[in-house]
Amino acid sequence: MSAAPPREIEIVDSHTAGEPTRVVVSGGPDLGEGALQHRLARLRDEHDDLRRGVIEEPRGSDILVGALLGPSADSTCAASVIFFNNAGYLNMCGHGAIGVAVTLAHLGRIGPGRHRLETPVGQVGFDYGGGSRVTIENVPCHRLLHSVTVDVPDYGFVTGDVAWGGNWFFLVGDHREQLLRSHVHRLTDVAWRIRRALEQGGITGAEGAPIDHIELFGPPQDPANDSRNFVLCPGGAYDRSPCGTGTSAKLACLLDDGELRPGQTWRQESILGTVFEATAEIRDGRIVPRITGDAYITGHGRLLFDPGDPFRQGVSETAR
């Protein structure tokens, strides 16, 4: 009897400001119909082997963000998308949405113009002008808690804001760190300690949601920019891009504090020195952010899942 052929999954890889995205184009499971939140639940509960196999070693790495394309219940949307990483599933992903937009153009599914994506937390509009540049209009963002102080073991007291930008963030400006690429191991350790202190202190997002992103801010290296950040993602890897949802959360804090006007551009620099340009407007009393960045296609091919491969579902590593 011949062996079963390997399962094939078509993927397109890209990076946005240095942060990679792997889009699953075809070969994924049938998640049925209905609300995207329900389809995400089916993916998580019944088909998590897709996430693990696509993202984890030996095919992926802990810095990779995945995006499963699917049909949208709203015919005006170019596609639906479910984002995931080595730790699980993401509500939204700003750099990933920019990567998905450029991927859809690469596949010939969209041309220049205004489009929308369906995400588990709502529709995200985007403007694609051709080439690498995309502007996404994120879901509304807001600050939940201002000037929250936590005692971080073996570090001291840290004060920050809890804000929503499509994911929950703790944004800290009063740390004692230098935001340099050469310091990423130290920054990762400090940010992880802060996250653990939030958990131990019972500090959460709305309705008890975990704060799974820690964002440290400091002065930019390039004076043309407004700020530099270091973002620790849920699985313990740091964001190479300026982080779209994190920049959205930052905009909410800046507008609340009167440090940024609606429509004023904020240039957010990443730990790599790449930049997102961001603005926000007030619409029906809600802060709506717009994030502009560049994504580049780095690969288009197939992943093979041999039934006899003991690591076909990935090699999981528990973060920290």
Catalytic-role residue among 93, 141, 233, 253: 93
Contact (CB, 8 A) for 13 and 294: no
> What is the spatial distance between Cα 254 and Cα 227, in angstroms, rounded to a whole number?
12
Catalytic-role residue among 77, 141, 233, 243: 243
Contact (CB, 8 A) for 217 and 171: yes
- Is 243 a known active-site residue? yes
Q: Which residues are catalytic?
A: 93, 243
